[in-house]
Amino acid sequence: MSKPVVAITRPKDRAKKACEIVEKLGGKAVLAPTLDLKPVNTQSLKDLVANKDQLDWIVFTSPTTIVSLNKFYPNFLNELTCKIAVIGNKTGKLVEKQGLSVDLMPDDFTAEGLIEEFKKNNVTDQTIGIPRTASARPVLPEELEKLGNTVILAEAYKSLFPMDEKAVKELIEKIKNHEIDAITFTSPLTVENFFTIAEDKQKIAELLNDNLLTVSIGPITAKVLDKYEVNHIYPDTYTVPDMMELLFKTLEERC
């Protein structure tokens, strides 16, 4: 087949690597972010920073949290004395770039995977800080509290509706014109916002099912695709490189 055209819907400031992988694997990337991320210095983040010495653990669920802390509190990470848990390789590598060690990272890069690791390590009666976006799923803090821990949530960034709707509408037109071979989604909100912008949701779902390969980064995002009745695949390891490897392997098998 000719060079596959792959739509990338993740935030622009986190899409560079995905686009590079697509090009490396012999495809053409079309960037249409359906989500924007904005670091914010909220009162809850200020409170977390002020009480950092009370923390037994801090959990980083995404690179954007670390970017936000470095922007507003450049010395925060280097002054941490607590243990560090992360979700995902990319977040872990960013922590290590700061000269810190990661104490806990699940093989399953989800909140559920991290909860299981905390259970295995009998983490209870601890104070755990979780800086993240306010729109994140509640499962992590709720389950950690059920284990007997005190959880301090802090909003470190906002997950915003895409500021450039034009790019997403242009992507939808390309999908209608059969100019896209595959589309990728890396979080539940990338799916939700995509379908919010799509005027005829049922028609777009049908087009994705009939003409495109839809790839989710993992099962949590896949559940939202299920809601819109979109057929999809996702890799065994929930990372962008693994997602792209699966995408191109599947396209080749279909030829």
* DSSP output for 1-19: --PPEEEE-S-GGG-HHHH
Query: Where residue 186 falls among pLDDT bands split at 50, 70, 90?
Result: very high
Dihedrals phi, psi of 225, to nearest 5 degrees: -65, -35
* 195-219 CB burial, b ≥16 within 10 A, e <16: bebbeeeeebbebbeeebbbbbbbe
- What's the mean pLDDT when you consider all of the chain? 95
Work out the pLDDT band at 1, boundaries 50, 70, 90. low
Contact call for residues 200 and 24 (beta carbons, < 8 A)? no
User: Which helix or strand (DSSP H or E) is residue 47 part of?
Assistant: helix 43-50
The confidence band for 60, taking pLDDT boundaries of 50, 70 and 90, is very high
Helices 89-97 + 63-72 axis angle, to 10: 30
Give the pLDDT band of residue 255 (cuts 50, 70, 90): confident
Q: Residue 163: which pLDDT band, with cuts at 50, 70 and 90?
A: confident
**Residue 122, Ramachandran bin (φ over 0: left; ψ between -120 and 50: alpha; else beta):** left
Domain formed by 5-35+162-254, architecture: 3-Layer(aba) Sandwich (3.40)
Q: Please, where in the chain does CATH 3.40.50.10090 lie?
A: 5-35+162-254, 38-160
Q: Which two tokens stand for residue 194?
A: 């995509």
Q: Is the pTM of this model over 0.85?
A: yes
- In this prediction, what percent of the chain has a pLDDT beyond 90? 95
* CATH class of the 38-160 domain in this structure: alpha beta
